[in-house]
Amino acid sequence: MIWVSWRQHRSQAITGLGLLCALAVYGIVLGLEMRTSFSSNNLAACLAHSQGASCPNAVGRFDNSFGSLVNIGFWGVLLLLPGLIGAAIGAPLLARELELGTWRLAWSQTVPRTRWLAVKLAVAAAGLTVLGAAMTLVITWYRAPMDRLTGHFVHNAYDYEGLVFTAYILFAFGLAVLAGQLLRRSIPALLAALVPWVAVRLVVEFVLRSHFMAPLTYRLPCPHGCGFGNANAIVDVPPSTGHIGNLLIKTLSNTGTTQVTSYQPASRYWAFQSIEAGIYVALTLAVLGVAVWLINRRGAA
């Protein structure tokens, strides 16, 4: 069964390897360029001494050179990529069997259909996990200089580093498997899986994420008036919480003399990654559980 599953998905595995290689080439080229600029501007010493507050011009030059490309362009390109990867593998896994009628042969063998599906799911999920982890390592290495200025909590870093990138892929995979079983067509299943995948991501990212753990508060006295500024700009170093990498939730002013900032500390990054990845893995298991239940129900019918 493992050999058969590999034969069925080897073209997709080769495509994934090609995608990883393209990402690696891009990351190495731009990553080395960022490291050269980071070193020539002596940003490491400045960050160690004052978190960038004493060298705003150097930080600004680095941001002007790489900020839009790394924080906006790259994020825009990769926004739907984990969903497309997972859905492209998951949609035909059952839909192709049902669409072409090959399920009659597969289900008439001595291997029980539950085991047949479990092996196919395990092989595909393992391959996607390896691909997601490898892509995460490439992105994390490539973004390292930028992360030293922004931290890992910004959306365009958080979503592609740590554990969540692979979890996004697996969740899209699970949705696509179920959609393929219900629709019996690969392309419609791929498109149908992306809709709930995007919806769940939006809810988790913009509604739930900042409340995974109770936020802390930072009070900054400002007797001459509090100016809020643009807390999300890379050149505003150090940020309003006084530490690079903290996730800003909300900034308030108390009678104009104290700036009160609600934030999640950078030290909670891996805790947040674990919570969010756990949510997506649980949803993936639930969706795949429904798919297994439906295939047994189909068999009983």
pLDDT in tens, 252-295: 665 567 777 788 888 999 999 999 999 999 999 999 999 988 88
What is the rounded distance in angstroms from the CA atom of residue 49 to the CA atom of residue 51? 6
Q: What is the pLDDT of residues 137-173, one digit of tens each?
A: 999 999 999 888 888 888 778 999 999 999 999 999 9
Do residues 125 and 173 lie in contact, with contact meaning Cβ atoms separated by under 8 Å?
Answer: yes
pLDDT at residue number 225: 60
* Range among 51-60, 61-70, 201-210 with highest mean pLDDT value: 201-210
Question: In the prediction, which pLDDT does 229 show?
Answer: 46
Rg over CA atoms, the chain: 23
Say what the pLDDT of residue 231 is: 42
What length is written for the chain? 301
Burial class (CB in 10 A: 0-12, 13-18, 19+), 91: buried
d(CA 184, CA 163) in angstroms, rounded, equals 31
What local confidence, expressed as pLDDT, does residue 68 receive? 79
pTM: 0.86
71 token code pair: 């924080």
Most confident of 4-8, 96-100, 108-112: 96-100
The region of weakest confidence among 68-72, 122-126, 227-231, 237-241 is: 227-231
Question: How many other C-beta atoms can be found within 10 angstroms of the C-beta atom of residue 274?
Answer: 14
Q: Bigger pLDDT: 291 or 97?
A: 291
229-240 pLDDT tens trace: 444 434 344 455
